[in-house]
């Protein structure tokens, strides 16, 4: 791991500790108190937060409270049928990231990666160390190791396509990974899954950044309103976390539900997106209107 990656993983660790502090009843801590708990000066803590997410610690803090998921459901719930026409180019996307994707055929999926060459590499991300996998067509896997550990994350991803040939080559993936984490430019996805899973992942791609939906809403969107449990399983099996935004799927109650790479990562992603959306020119224009 290079120096920049280590620093980014450290920054995520600070975010995680802040989340734990707020969850333990520290939601009203001042900047000075939070900084002291992080063993930092207030100025350094402020700079770290601002560099990581682009907003002040005070602004970010409100999105890390346990009630944030319920507030999202109340204020930023997305009806997928209504957003279908908006698609990936909709105004809900904060940054200019264009996603193009291609899905494997059912027959190719059934072969469990046989004859497929998958490149892989470790990259720094806003949410700690990330494992990126991809074929010649685009990113097919994206895992976050800060909660699970690097070896379990690697084993998890390789087990999804056990017959594939895996080749370590970060250079091949870097342009796609850089665009994905910067949320700018263009990146391609190669979606490898069963037909039902592909439908669910396509529906997730229609949920704008900073917004959420529910598992039941996803089931409605794919035309299988009674298949909520199967939809939940498909969400959990999403191999391209963050880009296929399974973190935006919540339970009707406002509970976060599960997250394959750890709930602290899911909460950090939701807070990251909501805080950046709140601070965006588009949001300010909507509020002024």
Q: Is residue 131 within 8 Å of 143, Cβ to Cβ?
A: yes
Q: Are strands 130-135 and 249-250 parallel, antiparallel or unpaired?
A: unpaired
Asked about 246 being catalytic, the answer comes back as: yes
Check residue 240 and report its DSSP letter.
B
Q: Residue 97 belongs to what H/E stretch?
A: strand 97-103
Q: Is residue 204 within 8 Å of 245, Cβ to Cβ?
A: yes
Helical packing angle, 42-53 and 3-21, nearest 10° = 110
CA dist., res. 81 & res. 216, Å (int): 13
Question: Per DSSP, what are the bridge partners of residue 185?
Answer: 97
Helix (H, G, I), strand (E, B) or coil at 289: coil
Q: What are phi and psi of 191, to 5 degrees?
A: -85, 115
Q: Is 272 left (phi over 0), alpha (psi -120 to 50) or beta?
A: alpha
Q: What are phi and psi of 160, to 5 degrees?
A: -75, -30
Q: Is residue 246 within 8 Å of 123, Cβ to Cβ?
A: no
Question: Would you say the C-alpha torsion 245, 251, 252, 255 has a positive or negative sign?
Answer: negative
| Catalytic-labelled residue, pool 246, 249, 268, 269 | 246
Helix (H, G, I), strand (E, B) or coil at 195: helix
Question: Would you say the C-alpha torsion 59, 76, 266, 208 has a positive or negative sign?
Answer: negative
Residues involved in catalysis? 246
């Amino acid at each position: 791991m290079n120096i920049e990656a280590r620093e980014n993983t450290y920054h995520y660790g600070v975010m995680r500790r802040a989340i734990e502090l707020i969850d333990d009843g520290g939601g009203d801590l001042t900047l000075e108190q939070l900084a002291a708990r992080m063993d930092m000066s207030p100025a350094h803590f402020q700079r770290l937060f601002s560099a990581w997410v682009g907003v002040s610690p005070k602004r970010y803090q409100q999105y890390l409270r346990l009630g944030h998921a319920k507030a999202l459901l109340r204020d930023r719930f997305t009806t997928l049928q209504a957003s279908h026409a908006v698609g990936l180019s909709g105004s809900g996307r904060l940054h200019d990231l264009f996603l193009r994707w291609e899905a494997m055929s059912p027959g190719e999926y059934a072969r469990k990666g046989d004859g497929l060459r998958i490149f892989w590499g470790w990259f720094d991300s806003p949410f700690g160390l990330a494992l990126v996998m991809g074929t010649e067509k685009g990113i097919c896997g994206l895992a976050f190791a800060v909660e699970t550990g690097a070896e379990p994350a690697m084993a998890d991803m390789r087990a999804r396509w056990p017959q594939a040939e895996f080749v370590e080559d970060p250079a091949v993936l870097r342009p796609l990974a850089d665009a994905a984490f910067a949320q700018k430019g263009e990146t391609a996805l190669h979606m490898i899954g069963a037909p039902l899973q592909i439908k669910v992942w396509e529906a997730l791609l229609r949920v704008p950044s900073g917004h959420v939906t529910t598992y039941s809403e996803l089931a409605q969107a794919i035309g299988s309103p009674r298949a909520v449990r199967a939809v939940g399983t498909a969400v959990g099996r999403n191999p391209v976390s963050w880009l296929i935004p399974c973190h935006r799927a919540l339970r009707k109650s406002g509970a976060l539900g599960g997250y394959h790479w750890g709930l602290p990562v899911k909460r950090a992603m939701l807070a990251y997106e909501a805080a950046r959306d709140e601070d965006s020119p588009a949001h300010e224009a909507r509020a002024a209107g």
